[in-house]
Amino acid sequence: MAHHFPASGPSTEVSFSSKVIPADSGETWYLLYRGWVLGTPRGIRISLTSLERVCFQAIAESPGRELSRVVLSKILPGSNLRTLNVAISRLRKKVSEAGAELPLHTVHGMGYVFLGQLQVQPC
C-alpha cells in the first residue's frame, strides 16, 4: 500500500504504522550534477556514492518521497538491505558533519521516507 506524505502543510508530524515521524521543515534540498551531489538547504554540497545516488533518484521519482523495500529490490538487484542501511548511515554522518540533518527517516517494515522538499537540478 502506498502512503503519501505531504510536502508541506499545517501538520507537524506524520504517523506511519504507529510510528510518529516529525514533518519536514519546509527547507529544500537539491540533487545536482545528474544526481551525484546533494545540496543542503544552506548551500553545502555533498558528493554521493553510486548507491546513495540511486537511492535519491528513486526518492525523487516517488510522489510520496518514499523508498520502499520493494523498490529497493528492483533498483538494487543482488544487494541486501544491510548494504543499504550502512550506506544511509554513512550518508547521514556526512550530512551531519556538514552541519545539517538529513530528513531521511527509517520506517520499520517499509523502508525510508524523505520528509523534506527535494528538487532535481541539472547542475
Taking residues 9-14, what's their average pLDDT?
36
| 53: Cβ contacts below 8 Å, ≥ 6 apart | 35, 36
pLDDT tens, 49-88?
998 998 888 888 887 888 888 888 788 777 777 888 888 8
Q: Which domains does the chain have, with CATH numbers?
A: 26-120 (1.10.10.10)
Residue 25's alpha-carbon distances to 9, 28, 45, in angstroms, are 10, 9, 19
pTM over the 0.95 mark: no
